[in-house]
Amino acid sequence: MTPFNTETSISPEESNYYGHYPYEIEDNYFSQENLSTKPGEYRQTTVAVDSFSPNAWGLYNMHGNVSEWVWDYYAGPQLLDRLLTEHPEVDFVQLQINYADWNDPNVSSRANYEVARKHGKSITVMEPVKGGKLANPPAAVKKLFQEYAPDMSPASWAIRFVASLDGIITVLSGMSSVEQMEDNLSYMKNFQPLNEEEQKIIRQAQKILGSPAEIPCTACHYCTDGCPKQIQIPDIFAAANLQIGNRQATQAKERYASISEGHRATDCIGCKQCERACPQHLKITDYLKQCSEIFGA
Ligand code: SF4
Ligand code: SF4
């Protein structure tokens, strides 16, 4: 089994990519398992769509042949400005943008957006629903949305907010069920940008979200792999947020209790490996101390 539609690793004769270095060539060489794929041509340009054989469903070019390149960008606006100045050849950038983090100094949604637009770049948006948090915002925000449009989901407000910005070419909505996808389609098919009244409501929601000191973790899990104590960081933060943001003390305690002993907030040894991995630049160790105080364990 390979990640490709061919039975073995794709060769440059089957796809257009950096052919000097086929997938897993070193592993294959040392294991002597697959010696059929060898380094080949690196064309450095795109080719006609039907240059290679299609896959079993008749689809061409499912691998390789990329003509645009993009940065998946997580740092701040100064560095982005420098990078885009030094690399004007970048076609578009992928940024974390959502209405809750619009003015957040760590995520810098707005600042990064403005830098990208200053350089004339289009933008693909990741985390528009903030790792699912804006699909279930605090009660005060839900009430605000429902009073204006009872049938519109909280996620739709979040996605329409980013899709209404100039220069957005794609919104990676990150939905995980058919129902959520149908909800997406209901307002993205004949997309209407947020009107003035709706923009005002978003600003009110931003104010509300700015007040509780919720931990802005998106549950991406980038921090957990390298943790020597296997601290369940996103689960701990989710439990704490139930208490901080939604004042659901019982549910928060239950959620925290479901985390295995030995992997809770108090078990952290403060090595800060997790903080280096966190794309949101969260002070994870400080938050874990806060969680220890909340849950007393
Ligand atoms: S600081 Fe704590 S949570 Fe972070 S990697 Fe180290 S032990 Fe794990
Ligand atoms: S890397 Fe940061 S945002 Fe992602 S789960 Fe860990 S703490 Fe949360």
| Angle at the Cα of 287 from the Cα atoms of 283 and 292, rounded to 5 degrees | 150
Confidence of residue 29 (pLDDT cuts 50, 70, 90): confident
Confidence of residue 1 (pLDDT cuts 50, 70, 90): low
Whole-number average pLDDT of the chain: 88
Question: For the whole model, what pTM was predicted?
Answer: 0.59
Phi-psi region of 132 (alpha: psi -120 to 50; beta: other; left: phi over 0): left
Q: What's residue 2's pLDDT?
A: 63
pLDDT tens string 87-111: 998 889 999 999 999 988 778 898 8
Confidence of residue 245 (pLDDT cuts 50, 70, 90): low
Cβ of 282 less than 6 Å from ligand 2: yes
281 Cα: distance to centroid of ligand 1 (angstroms): 14
275 Cα: distance to centroid of ligand 1 (angstroms): 8
Question: Which residues are near ligand 1 (CB < 6 Å)?
Answer: 227-229, 231, 233, 268-274, 284-285
- Which of 20, 22, 21, 26 shows the shortest CA–CA distance to 10? 22
Confidence of residue 3 (pLDDT cuts 50, 70, 90): confident
Which atom of ligand 1 is closest in space to residue 273's alpha carbon? 5
Report which protein residue has its CA nearest ligand 2's atom 2: 278
